[in-house]
Every structure is written in C-alpha cells, then in structure tokens.
Chains A and B, each alone.
Chain A
Amino acid sequence: MHAKTFILQTLAVVAPAFTVFAASPDFVDDIQPILERNCVRCHNAEKTKGGLRMDTYKWIMQGGDTADAIVPGNPAASELLVRIHLRPIDEGVMPDEGRALDPKEIVLLNAWVKAGAPWPEGIALTEQKPEPVKRVSIPDRTPESATDAAAILDDILRRENEESGAIKTRTIDDLVFLRRATIDLIGRIPTVSEIREFEAWGNDRRVKLVDKLLVHPRFADRWTIFMADMLRVRSNIEGGNQLLAFINKSIAEAKPYDIMVRELIAASGRANSNPAVGFILGDDANPMELAAATAQVFLGVRIGCAMCHDHPFDDWEQRDFYDFAAFFGKTQKVGNQRMGTVYTTEGSKMNVLWPPEDKAKPEEREPVSPRFPFKNIKYDSKPSYLIRFEKLRAQQEQKSTEGNDAHALDSLLEAVNPTAGKKADPVLREAEKESRLLNVHGDIYRTSELREKLAGLITNPRNDFFARAYVNRVWAEMIGHGFVEPLDNFSPYADLHHASTLDFLSREFIASGYDLRSLIRIIALSDTYRRAPLTAEIPLTVRENSERNFTAAPQRRMLGEVLYDSIVTAGHLKNFKWPAGANMKEVSSEIRVPTGEYIMAEAEASAPEMATEKPMLRNDGYDLESSLKLDFNSILTPHEASELETMRKESDKQIKAREMAETQNKEKQKVMKYTIKTVTNTVDDNPRFDSAMRMASPAPPAHFLRVFGQPERAGLGEFRDPSSSLRQQLMMLNGRITHEASRVGSLEPIHRLLEKDKTEAIVHAYWEILTRLPTEEEKTFALSILSKDPHEGMADLRWSLLNCNEFRFIP
C-alpha cells in the first residue's frame, strides 16, 4: 500500500465531516494557530527537538535531523504530516506531548502542504498556550436523585460527543449489568442466589442492586484495593498494614474522602496509635518525596518533575516545588530503637532550603517558607454545589462530637479495653492513669501545623484539582478510560477531554460531601456505564475512538484480586466441598529439624534478601495461590497503653544495660544447627480458599495476584499492568485454585443436580460461572463432554469455563 493511500484512508475513517476545509487554507487564520499552539513550544530557537525549528519558513524547510518536515505539494513525503497521522499510542507521534491534533486540524495541515505550503513573507511564529479545553453547558440545578444526576451526566456526555464520530453501542442486558456492577462494586461475580433475587426484582432492579452493593460488606474490601494502589500501600514497610486497615475502616464507615485525606496528610505519631501515619511513613517522611506524592496522588499534578529542574512539559518552576515541599519541611521520622517503633513528629527546623543543593554553597541556602502554588477557583456568586456542600457539612458537624486531643486520647485508651460491661483490668487502669500525666500527642508526637494547613488547602472545595483527580480515577476504574491519561496528570498540556462531564461529576462529588458511594452510584446508574463492547467487524481506529469517547465499553480484565475471589465464588472454595476423609493423600515435605548441636551463627541466616526476595514456598503447591487474611480489627486496636507502660517501667540506665547485653550476645551468638529431612504425611486434601481482598499487599513476587497485575506500589505513577502473559495462563491452566474450583465436590449443590439431570447441572454451571444461560448449542456440546463420566465431565466443563476469556473479562 502506498503512503498516500494510507493517509487518505485514515482521513476517510476519521474525518468525513471536515473535507469541506480541504480547499485552500489561509496561513494566518488556519495554519499559524495550529503550529503556534502545538508545535513551536518544542521546535524553536531555544528548544530544537529532533533538530527541527518551526518558527520561521526558512527553518521549517531545513527539516530535522532525520527527514524533511515539509515537502511542498507532497504530504506523504512530509515527515510532519506522516507524524501527525500516527495514533497517540504509536512511536514517533506528533505532538508527542499534550493534546493530539483533531481531525479538522489534520485536514487543514494536509491541504496546506498539498497547496505548496504557502507561508507569507516575514511571519515568525511564537509559542501560544494551548486552546482552552472545550466545554459544554452544565445545567445549574440540583439533581433530584442519583438517577436524575446520572441522566444529566449522560446528557452532558452526549453533547460533548456530538462531533466525535464515536459509535454508541447498544445497552447491555440487565443480567450483564448484574455481573458488571457486582464485579466493579464488590469485587466478585454474583452467586446463583443473588441472580435469583435480582431477577425477582421489578423494573427498578438496577437501582435496587446498586443500593444493595453499596452497603455490601465487600464494598469496602474491593475499594480498599483501589485506594491502596492509589496511595501505594505496602505491607512490608512500617505502618503499611495499619494504613491498609485504616483505609478499609474509613471506606466501611463512609468517611468523606476529603476528611480521610486530611487525616493522611496531617498525621503524626506511631502507626499503632494513629494508623493514618502510614502515608507519611511510606515516603520515609522525606519532604521532597512527600511533596511530589501529595501533589500527584491527590491533585493529579506532576509537580515532582520540577524537583530537579523547571518542568519541561509544564509551567511549574523549581521554586514552586520547593515552596510546596516546605509544608513537609519540618516533618521528621523518628526511629525509636528502645521500643522498636517508628513514628513521625514535627521538628522545629525547616529542612527545605533554597537554592537547591547543586546550585549554591551550603551557607548560601535559606530556609523556604511554605506556599501553596495552586490557585483556587474564583466566582462572583457562590455556585450551588458549594452551597449544598456547606449545608451538608454543617449538618454533619453538628451531629458528630467535637474532638480534641484529650478526647482522642480518651477514646484511644477506651479502645484498649473496649468491653464496657467487663471489669476493668487493674494493670490497664494503672497505665491509663500514668498516660494521662504524659501528654503523648503534645510531647512526643507533635502535631504538624504546616501539614494541617496544607491538608486544608488541598481539600478546600474551591481547589478544583482535588475532586477532579479522584473522580477521574474512580471513573476510569469503572468505565475503562479516564478523562485524562495517565490518570494522575492534569497538566494544561495533557489531553483532557469530556471536561464538562468531569466537571459535573466532580461538583456532584463535592456536593455529596466527598462521598465515594454517591459518586459510584451516579456512574453505575448512568446510561454510559451500560454500554456494550463493539463487535468484531468495527475497524480498530473507530473502536479506539468510541472507547475513548465512552460510547463503547472496552474489554477490561478483572483485577487479580477480583479474579481470585470470583474463582473462589464460582468453585465454592470458601467452605469444605468434600466430607472429611474423602481426599486422603500422602504429601511429602521438607522440614527443618534441630540437631541439638550449637554452631556459630552464619551471616547468611540473618542477611537481608532484598532484591532476591523469594516468594513463600510451601510444598503442597498452594503457596503461590494462598490468601492469608490480615485481621484489620486487631491491627487497628491501639497499643498506646502498653507503649506508655514500657516507657514508665524502664529507666534509661536499664535500657542501656539491656542493649549492651544484647550486643555482647550477638557477637558470640551461637545458634542451633538444623538439618533438612523429608517427611511424608497423610493429609486430608480438602482445601479451602478465602478472599484475597484482605491479604498483606503487595503479595510476594510470583504470587497469583502479582502475576495478574498487582503493582509493586513502589514508585509514583505506577498503574496496574492490564496485559496478558504466559505466566497468567500457566497459573490458570495448571494452578491449584482453578483445579479445585473445577472438581465437583460431593457437598456442592451441583453434585446433587448431576445425579438428577445433567442438563440442569450444565445450566447451573453456566449461571454460577458466567451469570447466564447456555445457548442450545452450548448445552448440546456440554452434554457431549459429560457423556462418559458426568462428574469428571463437569469438572472439565467448569475448568474450561473458568479459563475462558468470557469469565476473565468484565462483560
């Protein structure tokens, strides 16, 4: 195929409506604005990317390092035209930062080059800011209900899509909706009894279902996964598990998002008494890292790029970053070796200094005073969503008891001894009395005024970035694409689309008092959420355009945790599916046996493994698929009293003596010598699998969840990898969990059905695994699988259903 034909074909697909412009564009009116807004920023006298300057005719005709930018009269030979025709995901696409050119602009440039690229003499181009994002009107009224809000959303989206050329797919059936919403909201497929219940509901069953799922106990678990990815929660660092439990509890209690974030940013103390502190500890209380993370995670602004230099793709300057980082400049992480604990507190010295280390001598650097570089929105009369928000907050605040520091300590201490009816433990009483003399929060864990102030600025409802950043993430989690991508990059040069839909949702989110459930309810009840995927005959470019414009559902794979829990649900693995003793088998395992002999400790035993961290290995084959639950309740039980007690009991002298003794012991430490023996045991192989939602996370390397995309949560800007891999397939084909889920246990309902009626059993299997009836053809085919041995055949059928793409991808 010839290049020209390719371009023409692309044009035919994307821009039939704009051929009218193809005549002869005017340079000043049509071409100059496109070049100035999209090209000159990186191709000018100062910045000459790819060796190309585009600010004057002479320069543009000289071309770049690799090719001629423009060959007058020949678009196909012009590198500029070739590059702008690539799609956003292609290598070498131009513009490579910021908004992609729209079809109209592409047609204009094409026509201009074809017409010989006329450039009136003497015109030199200068960079222009990108055009403001296009918006449509948002009705100024309070939605009557979530359904009404969803309808307003759909209408705004429809108006924003008027010129998009996107194909709107059909609406999914209610049963598909049941599966989709159950997976998205509570993180597993629906059970047969849930299907029956749903079918029995009347016309408003979708609303009923969404209401039910929003109060389901699993809702908090599933959205904890979402928040844990966003906040990069790692169980293996100090305060990680507490933070995980804190998030879970906050979601379960419907704590408003802004309040939760305020707690995260302003937290001081120890993870055991203040679980929110894990966020600050996660970045080692380093002001620079915290500033970058806070802006990017909560505001969707990658100001962290300005840490080392003025932002190359954005308008942030290094000084802005330093001013912002100064809010964290007095935060300290204190390792208390005596008690083996770590906490954060506020120091008195400002550790963020200007100019940066590499640009000035130490004595020239001055402490920075904090400044918030983001501007709040301005208005003449207060918008109605803010009035609604303020009214709601006033009501909420009236209800809640006023908390102060002494109060907080009271409740902490009460929580240590929560059973009010029981007799109080005298030891605890004593500790309590002591602790009241010691002002923990005042003396040790100093409150950070700077961070409290920052938390207020960030979560200010007039700070536009805050709600939008979160809404964009929640929307993408449910719809498959964000309004801006990467999800945490709201740069003015990023390609933000459907801005009014996002504005509307953000305002409703604020008006709801930053309530996650209200936000999800609007999205789930929208018509947009009920789009079917496009069918096979639709060309790729049209498919991508439609998915990006939210008029067709993309193929989304279940999250690893959700896939795991769906297998557990479909295969009845939560309870024993065999009577005791039905699966006796011999299992050999290697165990370490003490020899009774003491040897000098070898360094290897205690050396850290670091990057060579190994996954947990057991010998029964379940290790990479196990799901050990954390007990969030016990994690959140404060241990303040015992900590104070330790402080009171040991004087510094005693501690010193103990430490010395320990060091001496360590030097001549002897350890028991072990030998490895293989033992064979007869075990009842009747495994159960629990939910993977409450596992310590991230799971060990090579674990099921990691193989299915659970991120490492180490760096900012890391998102789940949605791609398929060979490892995933091997894990599903040959793993224990799929195998056990497929086998027909005698305690399962399907076991009885198989004895009675094979067809009925097949129908049941389809309901359980795919939330639908089998077609006649599928039924016949399944019967042939079951013909030899119904039980083994059913296991084969279920194995195939669990492995097939229809199961793994969200319908």
Chain B
Amino acid sequence: MNACNDYQFTRRRMLKLFSASILGMPISRLMAERIPGQGHAEHVVLFWNSGGMSHLDTWDPKPGRKVQGEFNPIKTSVPGMEISEIFPQLAKQMHHASLIRSIAGTNGDHGRAQYELQTGFSQSPNILHPGIGSMVVHEREPLGDLPSFVSISGQPSRAGYLGQQCEAYYVGRPGEKDPYLAFPEGISHARGMQRLQVLERMNAQISGRLGATELKASETALKDAVALMESPALKAFELNEEKPQTIARYGDTEFGRGALLARRLIEKGVRFIQVNRGGFDNHGNIFNAMRAHGNAMDPGIASLISDLKANGLLEKTLVIVLSEFGRTPRINDGGGRDHWARCFSCMMAGGGTKGGTIIGASDEDGMEPAERPVKVHDLHATICYALGIDLNKEVVTPQGRPMRLVQKEATPIRELFA
C-alpha cells in the first residue's frame, strides 16, 4: 500500500486489492514496487526557494561578463567546478553534489511557475496536480511513526487529486513543539487518555450501528492521531536535544534550524521534507539580499550534506535546492534582477547521484541553455527515477480521470546517477 494515510480511499483500495488478487487482473500496479534499474534513494529533502533565485549569483557564475554582478566565483572541492562566493561551506561539499545549469523553464509568472516546478505539470482547469512531495509519499510506504511528508516554514504544493491524506504535515517554526500533538494545557496525560477511552466507546456505538465506511475512516484517523501523539519519534521535532555547537554549525536561524530538523526527521524515516524559504524575488538590491541568503543557506545545507554523509544516509537521501525560475542576467536600474525562466540552475546531492557532475551549460551570459537543455518535467522524472518510482504510473483521480504522475515526455537525467 502507499504511504498516504489512506482514509478516503480505504474502500476503493480495499476493493481494488480484493478484486485484483482474486481475479489476477493486469489492471494496474497496486504495490509501489521499485523499478529495477532505477535508483535506490529512500528520502528527499527539497529546499524550496520561493520568488525565483538568481542562478548567476549562486550555481552559475559568469566572471568577467557584464552580467556578473557583485560576487566572484570560488573554487570548490571539484576541480573545474566554480560556484558563487556566497556559498563557501557548500563549495567544500560539491564532490557530493551535482549542478544542473540548463533548466529551460517556460513560465515567468510566480504562481504558474511554482505550480509547474513543484508538480511537473502546467496549471490547467479541472485538475489539481499533486506536488512532488505528495507524489513521493503516495508511492512509498511510511517508515516509522512520523508523517511521511513534512513541510517546514511554509506550504508546499497541495496533494491535489491524491487527496488530503497525501498533504504535508506542516511545521510552522522548526524546533518549536506543535501544540496539536499534546493534550491541551491543563489536561494531564492520564486524564487525556481517559477521555480517549470515553470517546472510543461513543464512536464504537455509532459505527457499530451504522457501519458506514466514512465513520470507520474517521476512527482510523483518530487511531493514527493518537499513535502519533504517543510516539517517541516525536522527539525528532525538538531541537533542544542537539548540542548548541550543532545548532550553531547549521546556523541559528529559521533556515538553519529547518535544515537540522530535516536531518533529524530523515533519521526517523520521514520520506519527504520540504524546507521553504522566501525572499528571492529580488527586483532591487539583489546583492545585499543574496549575501544574506547565502549566510543563512550555506551553513545549513552544507552541514546537512556532511552530516548525512557521516552517518551513511546521504546515499539514500536526495537533497535538492530549487526555485521556480532564475533571474535576468541584466542588472536593472534598481540593482536588482527580474524574472528569468528561460535558463536557470538547480543543485542535487546524494540519493545515488554522482557527486561533482555538471549537467548542461548556459551560454556565456546565462541567458539560454547552451548545452543539454533540461525541461522542468525532466526534474520530476529524475526525482522519481532516483527513488525507483514507476515513471509510467497512472493514478485514477476521484473524478475518474486517469492521470500520469509524471508526464509522458519527461525523461530522467540518467547521467546524474552512478
């Protein structure tokens, strides 16, 4: 079965399983089997940078050109690979990471581009495509007690037709306890448990009489909620267990704490973690802004990669840094850069990818892809490929429409993988 807490479709899936196993129908793949020949990753950390992060000031510097801007490139642990000076710590981790410098986006509007980058599909009426996190947890069974999909400091794309059960579990401020995971103030644990017993008795009475699947689904959700409240794995959400030095190493910022929380959640088996950061729509004063972004992001992402490497989880965890588009090579009169979708970059590390690889290249000013253009949906195919998810998988929406999880034309970037 899949990892979404399956309440709405219990009946439907149950029947599907039932009919499939007894009729031996080749209708659809029911179990999310790993596709042979594809990757073996188990987890994903997506650093989502909202607003359109400049590619020139991060992964694709253009030294000596008019478009260069204020930052100089620096050498990395990979000979010949240079990145912006705002990422000094990351530069030392690049032998674990790969860069894609030739993403050919098509949409310069924030909303539409974010939809496309997070779902792999263009917005269209009558269908809400699931975000990549929802897709992954739909296809992969949960590991451990925690929700499979956690979003930190912001909301990811919705689960769309995959239903409410594939939505992200939302963490507003990393490191702070979620008040909804414990009984309300003034209600002791013992009293809370007593209340639950009374409640179970009441629920059993009505579902015993009526037996509707809707009631049973609600009871299953209740059981899961209580199990989560009682789980020792919840401690993963609390950062006070970490040494102050560790917190300092990741950066004692919301972003740094988010990256540290991501590591702790992976250790507890969470499948997909999206760490959100806003503030990349730098139409003015872009260099100040990017320096500040670098200060926050560099220690967080670099520490995450090196810690995952140290405890052996990097091989199983795909770390991605992505944004909805890049920014204009031309620097505008306000010292900013505007929206630029025709060419931008992304970083991927771990999860079975070869480190130190550069995929594609932009032209001399970062205006257009010069080599191996990568389509937006190819990124989704790549993530699915890394996790061994069937690229041809079709899911029937609640409205009865069959939908591919990954677009037919999408192809994974196979050169990324060892």
Contacts and interface: CB of A to CB of B under 8 A. Distances in A.
Among B7, B163, B279, max chain A CB count under 10 A is at: B279
Contact of A728 (B24, B221, B286): B221
A180 to B, nearest CB: 15
B11 to A, nearest CB: 7
B180 A721 contact: no
Interface residues on B, range: 35 or more
Interface string A595-628: 0000011111001111111110100010000000
Interface stretch (A137-145, A337-345, A419-427, A733-741): A733-741
Given A67-B25, A611-B155, A725-B165, 13 more contacts: A92-B25, A533-B210, A534-B212, A536-B211, A557-B218, A603-B282, A603-B286, A607-B279, A607-B289, A723-B217, A724-B214, A729-B224, A805-B206
A725 B221 contact: yes
B144 interface: no
22 contacts: A2-B22, A82-B23, A87-B15, A89-B15, A90-B19, A555-B210, A557-B214, A603-B289, A608-B278, A612-B50, A614-B155, A615-B172, A667-B334, A701-B155, A722-B214, A724-B217, A724-B218, A725-B164, A727-B164, A733-B183, A739-B184, A803-B199
Contact of B12 (A89, A717, A730, A801): A89
B69 to A, nearest CB: 14
A604 B187 contact: no
Nearest to A739: B184
Interface string B318-342: 0000001000000000101000000
B156 interface: yes
Interface stretch (A271-279, A357-365, A438-446, A792-800): A792-800
B292 interface: yes
Contact of B164 (A67, A603, A709, A716): A709
Contact of A305 (B24, B126, B164): B126
A735 B51 contact: no
Interface stretch (B110-118, B351-359, B406-414): B110-118
B50 A611 contact: yes
B210 A536 contact: yes
Interface in B1-27: 5, 7-8, 11-12, 15-16, 19, 22-27
A712 interface: yes
Interface residues on A, range: 35 or more
A796 B202 CA distance: 13
B128 interface: yes
Which 8 A-B pairs rank lowest in CB-CB distance, beginning with the nearest?
A536-B211, A612-B154, A723-B8, A603-B289, A604-B279, A92-B27, A717-B126, A729-B225
A189 to B, nearest CB: 16
B182 interface: yes
Contacts of B277: 612
Contacts of A792: 191
Contact of B5 (A614, A726, A797): A726
A555 B127 CA distance: 26
Contact of A729 (B19, B221, B399): B221
Among A89, A709, A735, max chain B CB count under 10 A is at: A89
A734 B118 contact: no
Contact of B284 (A97, A534, A603, A800): A603
Contacts of B26: 66-67
Interface string B185-223: 101000100111011011100111111111101111110
B125 A292 contact: yes
B50 A610 contact: yes
Contacts of B286: 603
A666 interface: yes
Interface in B71-88: none
A554 B206 contact: no
B71 to A, nearest CB: 15
B417 interface: no
A486 B399 contact: yes
A209 interface: no
B143 interface: no
Contacts of B27: 66, 83, 91-92
Contact of A723 (B7, B51, B187, B279): B7
Nearest to A88: B400
B57 to A, nearest CB: 12
B416 to A, nearest CB: 25
Interface in A73-112: 76, 79, 82-83, 86-92, 96-97
Nearest to B293: A604
A581 to B, nearest CB: 18
B202 A90 contact: no
Interface in A3-21: 3, 6
A808 interface: yes
Contact of B126 (A534, A608, A715, A731): A715
A377 interface: no
B396 interface: yes
A804 interface: yes
